Amino acid sequence: MPSYTITQLAKHVDGQVTGLTDVTVTGIQVLDQALASDLSFIRSAKFAQQWSSSAAAVVLLAQSIEIPQDCVNRSVIRVEDADMALNKVIELFAPPKVCPQAGIHPTAVVSETATLGNQVCIGPYCIIGDNVQIGEGCVLHNAVSVYENSSMGSYCEIYSGVVIRERSQIGHHVMIHCNAVIGADGFGFRASDDGQGITKIPHIGNVIIGNHVEIGANSCVDRAKFSATTIGDGTKIDNLCQIAHNVQIGRCCLIAAQVGVAGSTTVGDGVQIGGQVGIRDNISIGSGVKLAACAAVMGDIPDGETWMGIPAKEQNTAAREFVAIRKLPELLKVYKEFSKQMKND
């Protein structure tokens, strides 16, 4: 691991040093596990109380947090935002990324009609189909499958086991993590005409993914029945998410793990969706909306609102209902006493 003086770190994060300055940092660790050569961080007053018992050599401290009385002589780097400052420090300590050599691995199968840009890396056991286009500097790790007539912009990184189905269009600087599936059939079925079985509905559309999108491991983005399922520029999707056919997701959305978005729903720009949220089909989620974890969204939501609960409601309404529900046992007891008195009278 590299080492840095507190002065070097403070300059890197645009922070101000207080306390001891003759300190060298060799690692990063949380407060309760830090050693005497580690840097840690405090983003809220809640964690400031743990500082007294921590061995951390240096602490990144948000400007809004007061230094505990027994820590006033310890080494501190004051910053506006401790989380953002920590990100910058992590970059300094991150091990160098090992990039595969450009070229096609001998075990890969690449169609003669595929077009590969400069400095492309095609790893072991990859399969590249007919008329596929892959842009400059893309890295496909081992066992990636790209089906026919798909395209990929420049400097994408596709990790092991990813499957990109036919006609998918992927922008520039896209990262797709292990075993995600882009462009599989949408889930479309109806009862057969004779009433004796189920008929599969064809899906002849595709998936269009914008620039700087990241899709987590084991997530699925289904292709459209017709037209396209779209993911806007800058959107980040966590692991184990399901984006159904004909869904339209806007720019710079954050979608946490295990979210399911049903077919033909529209999600605006800058939406934040917590873990395990379920969103029904054919509704519209406005731009800037925030959805709390485990919310079950059953209808349209206007721009900028925060919703929570099952079924999901605007947060103030949902909070009042939660309070009322907690009072039900007490109210039920009062009701039983009242009913008993009424019978006696």
What domains appear along the chain, each with residue ranges and CATH number?
Answer: 4-93 (3.40.1390.10), 103-318 (2.160.10.10)
Separation of first and last alpha carbons in the chain: 81
Beta-sheet strand order (sheet of 75-79): 16-18, 75-79, 58-62, 38-42, 27-28
With beta carbons less than 8 A apart as the criterion, state whether 199 and 190 touch.
Answer: yes
Of the candidates 154, 223, 161, the one whose C-alpha atom is nearest the C-alpha of residue 146 is 161
Cβ burial of 122 (10 Å; 0-12, 13-18, 19+) is buried
Q: Which contacts of 102-108 are long-range, i.e. CB under 8 A and separated by 24 or more positions?
A: 105/142
pLDDT score for 22: 87
- pLDDT tens track of the chain, all 345 residues? 789 999 999 999 999 998 888 889 999 999 989 998 999 988 888 788 788 888 888 999 988 888 777 676 788 999 999 899 999 999 999 888 877 889 999 999 999 999 999 999 999 999 999 999 999 999 999 999 999 999 999 999 999 999 999 999 999 999 999 999 999 999 999 999 888 899 999 999 999 999 999 999 999 999 999 999 999 999 999 999 999 999 999 999 999 999 999 999 999 999 999 999 999 999 999 999 999 999 999 999 999 999 999 999 999 999 998 888 888 888 888 888 888 887 776
pLDDT score for 80: 92
The residues carrying an active-site annotation are 245
pLDDT score for 20: 82
